[in-house]
Amino acid sequence: MSIAPEIVFRDAVPGDEGIVAHFVRRLAEYEKLLHEAVATEADFRTALFATPPRLSALIAEQAGAPIGFAVWYYDFSTFSGKPGLYLEDIFVEPAHRGRGIGREIFRLLARRALVEGCARMNWSVLDWNAPSIAFYRSIGAVGMDEWTVQRLEGAALAALAA
């Protein structure tokens, strides 16, 4: 499947923090987690464009209108001794799905990961999200079923720090 020539993929630039915030909320809504999406445009501006940046973003556009995005950051594998690219979020507007846009975003990030010397790409998916899981399997991703994600946040994080 080829991407329509009018689809443009570009790195986020200052001023795109509203686009990123919009797509994060769209993804949170899809994942039934909108109540957790409290990040502001200012938060994204700082994360994307401060020194050092903590987050990177790619925007997919058609005729100048944003239709999808991905945000990622680099982590590190002590086992391989190499960085990894951690894909935090990816979202393509439902009206534009099935056109290869998500696959192209993954292809562009995989290329970026290799250029940056990354040993791997990682991301999480909700276990009920069968369409996304099927897509991830189609591009060669494997589930890490033997690993479970752990999280420390809010009051528990503050209590441990105290």
Q: Which of 30, 73, 74, 136 is catalytic?
A: 136
Token duo for residue 148 = 């479970």
Q: How far apart are CA 9 and CA 58, in angstroms?
A: 7
Q: How far apart are CA 32 and CA 44, in angstroms?
A: 21
Side chain identity, residue 152:
L
Q: Which residue has the tokens 């991407």?
A: 3
Query: In sequence order, what DSSP letters do the residues of 4-17 get, joined into one string?
Result: PTTEEEEE--TTTH
Q: Is residue 136 annotated as a catalytic residue, yes or no?
A: yes
- Coil, strand, or helix at residue 44? helix
Which residues form the catalytic set?
136
